Structures are given as C-alpha cells and as structure tokens.
Amino acid sequence: MDVLWCLPLALLLLHRAACASDPVEVVGAVGRSITFFLQSMDTTTAWSFHSEVIVTVKFGNPPEVTFFDDNYKSRLAFPKNGSSLTISQLRLDDAGTYTAKRKGAKTSFALRVYRELAVPTVTCVAQNCSANGCRYTLRCTASSSGSGNVSYVWSAGGWPLSEGPTVLVEESALEELPLTCVARNPVSSRNATVISPAALCAENTTRPPTTGAYSGSQAGIVAACMAGAVVLVAALVFLIYCKCKGWSVFRLPAAEAMSTVFRWKTSCPPTKKEPGAQP
C-alpha cells in the first residue's frame, strides 16, 4: 500500500523538477534593455549564450567580471552586486537562451527580441457606392521585419468594431467617427485615426498610377518612341529596296536644286508594251 502512495509522489516531484528547469521567458525591444534576475548569493556565476560561456561574475561590491566574448563588453552590466545580468542596446540577434550556472543551481532565460511598431498606415482597399449609400473597405498595416506577430483592433467612437487588419464600414454607420486602428506586437502598441473614410478613398483614387502603369506624359513619350522606330524601319526598308533596284540619289548644284530635287537613274530594262497599245 505504501508503494502505491510513493509512486504518485515521485511523479509529482519529477514534474516539479522538470518545470523548475524550464527557461524563464523574457521579452525585449530592439535598442532597449532587459535584466535577468537571480537570487543573491555569495558565489561565482558563469553566463552562457547558446551553451557558449560569455562572462563569469563573482558576487561582490563591485563584482569581479571576466569576459570571454568581447562583443558584450560595452553592453553588459551586473546590478545587485553581480546577482543579475543586464543587456543594453538589444539587437535581433541577441534572441536566444541564456543560462546562469553557479554552485548547485542553474537558471535559464529564453529571450525574445522584437522591433517596436511604427505608426500604422491606413489605406482604402475598395469603395462601393449605390443609391443606399457607400461602403468602404479599409486596411491597416504596421508590420515590418522583426516585429513578430502583429494584431489589429478597429474601434469607432471608442467602441470596439472588429479585429484584424481589414474593416468594412457603411456610410450609415459613420456617426460613431472617428475610426481608430490599434496595432500591437509583444513590445509596442501604435494607433492611427481615420476622420473620413470617404475622403481617404477619394485621395487614393486621385493619386498617380502605381508602378506598372503609365502616366499621361509617359504614355506620350512611349507612343512617340514607337512612331519614331516605325519611321526608321520604313526608311531602312526603302533604302534597301532602292539598292536592289539600282537606284541612286544624286546631289544637284544649288542652282538646279531650285527646280529639281532628285534625279533618278535606273538600270532596269524598259517594260514591254502590250500589243495594240498607243505609242
């Protein structure tokens, strides 16, 4: 009977031990700082990143520090007499697992680093108007490389409207203006406000064509170039034809050029007259 009670207890202790070894999750933003906290103790701690030792710290005031990776010298600090580690000027490649090993203990930290979001951009995706009014489809965009998962929430007049980057609003429901898009990621939150969806969509329709389309002046230049190319090809074909026929162009003196521009000489035999033709 005692054996049956000991087995669940042993499993519980194993589970707690496994949980204790799970890394502590820490989130930081590019350019900012984070701190890994340890319990104060009079001992030496070896900090490693991806299993490679980067620094050892001996507890004291001030702590004794030995670097094994000079790339961290200007960005590491050791508050609380060396019982904690602070990384400043965070970069995306700082993300990973940091482990603090000391006598009889080991603590791991899983660091995730993200870029802070910029102010979102709201664009008009579609506008559909009828006798009953207009409907507008708006899209909010704030994601960028290194920003992680970005969530979007739309509100109208301070009341939740929808979730996701795209929202559909009807003209009859625009009494609760303004519309606000809030974009969030693990390290920041930014918002953009739309006062008039109609004005936003009108602005989009009056903007110059995007890449892949020609403006009026560009179309005129393209047409002129194509016309010039056609004329050039026609001239070349004509010159080749003249050369085959044995024709040549003579430059006349200025006096004769007043009455005659070109004189043609041909070596082709005269054409035969049809029987009965008038001389």
- pLDDT at residue 100 in the model: 95
3-state secondary structure 98-134: EEEEECCEEEEEEEEEECCCCCCEEEEEEEEEECCEE
Q: Measured between alpha carbons, how far is 91 from 76 in angstroms, rounded to an integer?
A: 13
Write down the pTM of the prediction: 0.63
CA distances from 262 to 173, 221, 241 (A): 79, 34, 17
Q: What is the mean pLDDT of residues 245-263?
A: 51
Evaluate whether 98 touches 85 at the Cβ level (below 8 Å). yes
Q: Which pLDDT tens digit goes with each residue over 91-138?
A: 999 999 999 998 888 999 999 999 999 999 999 999 998 888 889 999
Among 27-36, 172-181, 205-214, 264-273, the range of highest mean pLDDT:
27-36
Higher pLDDT, 141 or 231: 141
**Higher per-residue confidence, 98 vs 279:** 98
pLDDT band at residue 243, thresholds of 50, 70 and 90? low
pLDDT at 232: 79
DSSP 8-state code for residue 249: B
Query: Peptide bond before 270: cis, by omega within 30 degrees of 0?
Result: no
- The span from the CA of 41 to the CA of 103, in Å, is 10
